A and B are shown apart, each in its own frame.
Chain A
């Protein structure tokens, strides 16, 4: 279910260094395998690319990593003012600010990951044109680097939980699972968008728009309990619904145990990731010529 299992399942064998190493170069036809073994062999590169993205992210900014906290905080304040105070959106019996913030933390991780991975191949055009390595490493590293921001925002979330005197339940242990779900969704959509972006630069304009619409299609500012079954489960086909409601359930103890909704979200997320990875590999051969 989690991303790690997804990758490890294919690559459980130890890396074999065949000597002498033989490389055969020929045109590939149609759909190609994900070649996760090569990706595994290049795990150090994945590590360095992630490390670079983390190091570089807040270079030459005045506020630095504070941005990681400021982004969801500012949105929370605006949401609390308009949706919480003025419109009086229901919040499952939880103070609206923490209700919104618990959703905004994973949402920000998802949205930034998607936005940055969509542009990651274009930003690494020079690498694509000059060096061989599994191209999947680029968007994966970009989304992985966002985990650091997530952790910072998550600490603030825990402080807020303490401030509002909410006692976390044992369900808190499920949080990593919902983070993994957000990661899979972000990477899955990011793979589609980054591969498309190489050929159609329109993607650059589409992605911010997509994220905006997706935000309102996800119960960030409002609870999914506004819907009744079976609509709630169907709503879960938007994988971010499962993520957001999962976070609230695990951390705030909302009585909306996500159950079926999370199953629907997980299936949808995995489907996006797998199709995205295959589409990415299919387009990969044209990257160096087109980018």
Chain B
């Protein structure tokens, strides 16, 4: 039972920065590339040897990572964007090769780096089950045997012969996950697949994951959902800048990760490199205050709150989405400036800033974290996890005191009672 099934020794992966940038090609890039191609071809031939080994143009996504996973362990891999979680999983799934180091895996590996890989929109649900199953490494006989189970798990019996391009996104995801969930490998590598879909779908996925974990299978699970990691995993590995920072129980690693997130908030946001997006517009500073008309110093339940996002620039259709998380990493509420309300207003004097006002903060006292995404014209410009932390003090909603009560919800709603006496 306790034999080692995954042994990772000194695993490192270097990316050429050039290669990374090229993977986001636009039409303009294509044109300039075509025009400059002769020069580049000559340059890279001169620097041949297969990989360009110039040091200044590469970064280590993983550096000297070692650990062992025993049979039946469910391990959560956590860390910020760019910490190397996905790279590690991709190496173990044999999608990409390590630059240095060694890994040895005993048992049938199933990797689920994305649901619905290889789905073809023109093909029917039935055809896609076979195609996707084959891509994930299932034999045709196995797929046939599990076909009914897959279809009923996905709840698409009626549409099984409809091309998936006519599916709703929910049906598509359910079908994609259903195929993957019936893979039944001995070792399962899962990357953030729970981040997609609606709540019911996520619940179903987590249920299936719990089932898989309960069957004594080995699972390596990458997630930003701390609550899922907490409930599914027996062990947590916290990766930081490509190295193993903490390798302990799931809760110990999660708290190490959350502490690290807090520390990074004190830095200038522009200095942080763990961000995603095109980066033409970035979040420079995030101010959280009690609003211009309030003289209190800290946020409190039922009091106004203002979130001011200072950006490095603006573009047409710039929008800001932010999500408030509790200290377990559970999302509580999302705010999206692109979804308009008649109460929204304009103020040209703001310059490159966006302000979100909450009249009565409905959060119970405690500590909260914010993730921010900035997009312009439908394209993600900047995404920062843990862009800010804030503390909410005890307060009152419409005069009714709200006190800290762990385990009984983080939101308080305005309400009133009617009693006989």
Question: A127 to B127, alpha carbons, bound, how many Å?
Answer: 17
Interface string of B1-45 (1 = CB under 8 A from A): 000000000000001100100110100001001100100010000
Could you tell me which residues of chain A, from 202 to 231, have a CB within 8 Å of some CB in chain B?
A: 202, 205
CB of B44 to closest CB in A, whole Å: 8
CB of A253 to closest CB in B, whole Å: 43
Nearest chain A residue, comparing its CB with the CB of B9: A26
The reply on B101 being an interface residue by CB < 8 A is: yes
Which of A22, A25, A59, A127 makes the CB contact (< 8 A) with B135?
Answer: A127
The reply on B134 being an interface residue by CB < 8 A is: yes
Question: A44 to B138, alpha carbons, bound, how many Å?
Answer: 9
Top 7 nearest A-B pairs (CB, nearest first) are A132-B94, A25-B103, A48-B134, A288-B96, A59-B122, A285-B97, A130-B113
Could you say which of B104-112, B293-301, B381-389, B402-410 contacts chain A?
B104-112
CB of B98 to closest CB in A, whole Å: 6
Could you tell me which residues of chain A, from 11 to 60, have a CB within 8 Å of some CB in chain B?
A: 20-28, 44-45, 47-49, 51-52, 55-56, 59-60
CB of A219 to closest CB in B, whole Å: 33
| Contacting pair B111 A132 (CB below 8 A) | yes
CB of B58 to closest CB in A, whole Å: 11
Indicate whether A288 sits within 8 Å of B107 (C-beta atoms), given known contacts A127-B118, A200-B37: no
The reply on A274 being an interface residue by CB < 8 A is: no
| Contacting pair B34 A205 (CB below 8 A) | yes
| Contacting pair A288 B90 (CB below 8 A) | yes
CB of A196 to closest CB in B, whole Å: 10
Binding site for A on B (CB under 8 A): 15-16, 19, 22-23, 25, 30, 33-34, 37, 41, 50-51, 90-109, 111, 113-114, 117-118, 120, 122-123, 127, 130-131, 134-137, 139-140, 186
Indicate whether A25 sits within 8 Å of B94 (C-beta atoms), given known contacts A126-B117, A126-B118: yes
Nearest chain B residue, comparing its CB with the CB of A29: B50
| Contacting pair A24 B93 (CB below 8 A) | no
Which of A27, A47, A124, A127 counts the most chain B CB atoms within 10 A?
Answer: A27
For B96, list chain A residues within 8 Å (CB). Answer: 285, 288-289
For B123, list chain A residues within 8 Å (CB). Answer: 52, 55-56
Question: A49 to B132, alpha carbons, bound, how many Å?
Answer: 10
Nearest chain B residue, comparing its CB with the CB of A284: B97
| Contacting pair B95 A288 (CB below 8 A) | yes
Nearest chain B residue, comparing its CB with the CB of A288: B96
CB of A41 to closest CB in B, whole Å: 10
For B118, list chain A residues within 8 Å (CB). Answer: 124, 126-127, 131
For A23, list chain B residues within 8 Å (CB). Answer: 94, 104-106, 109
Question: A133 to B23, alpha carbons, bound, how many Å?
Answer: 21
CB of B124 to closest CB in A, whole Å: 10
For B15, list chain A residues within 8 Å (CB). Answer: 289
| Contacting pair A127 B117 (CB below 8 A) | yes
| Contacting pair B95 A132 (CB below 8 A) | yes
**Additional pairs, 20, CB under 8 Å, beyond known A44-B134, A202-B41:** A24-B102, A25-B103, A25-B104, A26-B103, A27-B98, A27-B100, A28-B97, A47-B134, A48-B134, A52-B131, A55-B127, A56-B123, A126-B118, A131-B117, A132-B93, A133-B135, A133-B137, A201-B34, A285-B97, A286-B50
For B104, list chain A residues within 8 Å (CB). Answer: 22-25
Indicate whether A290 sits within 8 Å of B19 (C-beta atoms), given known contacts A27-B99, A52-B131: yes
For B37, list chain A residues within 8 Å (CB). Answer: 200, 202
For A282, list chain B residues within 8 Å (CB). Answer: 50
For B41, list chain A residues within 8 Å (CB). Answer: 200, 202
Question: A288 to B134, alpha carbons, bound, how many Å?
Answer: 19
Question: A47 to B140, alpha carbons, bound, how many Å?
Answer: 10
| Contacting pair A44 B140 (CB below 8 A) | yes
| Contacting pair A25 B131 (CB below 8 A) | no
Question: A127 to B131, alpha carbons, bound, how many Å?
Answer: 12
Q: How many residues of A contact B (CB 8 A)?
A: 40
For A55, list chain B residues within 8 Å (CB). Answer: 122-123, 127
The reply on A129 being an interface residue by CB < 8 A is: yes
Could you tell me which residues of chain A, from 251 to 291, have a CB within 8 Å of some CB in chain B?
A: 282, 285-286, 288-291
For B139, list chain A residues within 8 Å (CB). Answer: 44
For B136, list chain A residues within 8 Å (CB). Answer: 131
Indicate whether A20 sits within 8 Å of B106 (C-beta atoms), given known contacts A130-B117, A132-B93, A132-B94: yes
Question: A23 to B185, alpha carbons, bound, how many Å?
Answer: 14
* 12 A–B contacts, CB within 8 A, in A order: A20-B107, A24-B102, A24-B103, A25-B97, A25-B105, A27-B98, A131-B93, A131-B118, A131-B136, A132-B94, A201-B34, A290-B22
CB of A282 to closest CB in B, whole Å: 7
For A129, list chain B residues within 8 Å (CB). Answer: 90, 95, 113
| Contacting pair A25 B91 (CB below 8 A) | yes
| Contacting pair A21 B97 (CB below 8 A) | no
| Contacting pair B23 A26 (CB below 8 A) | no
CB of B59 to closest CB in A, whole Å: 12
Which of A44, A47, A56, A201 makes the CB contact (< 8 A) with B33?
Answer: A201
For B94, list chain A residues within 8 Å (CB). Answer: 23, 25, 132
Interface string of A67-89 (1 = CB under 8 A from B): 00000000000000000000000
Which of B34, B50, B98, B135 makes the CB contact (< 8 A) with A202?
Answer: B34
Question: A56 to B17, alpha carbons, bound, how many Å?
Answer: 36
For B111, list chain A residues within 8 Å (CB). Answer: 131-132
For B105, list chain A residues within 8 Å (CB). Answer: 22-25
For B91, list chain A residues within 8 Å (CB). Answer: 25
CB of A110 to closest CB in B, whole Å: 26
Question: A124 to B98, alpha carbons, bound, how many Å?
Answer: 22
CB of B377 to closest CB in A, whole Å: 24
| Contacting pair A131 B107 (CB below 8 A) | no
Indicate whether A290 sits within 8 Å of B103 (C-beta atoms), given known contacts A27-B98, A131-B135, A132-B111: no
Question: A20 to B322, alpha carbons, bound, how many Å?
Answer: 47
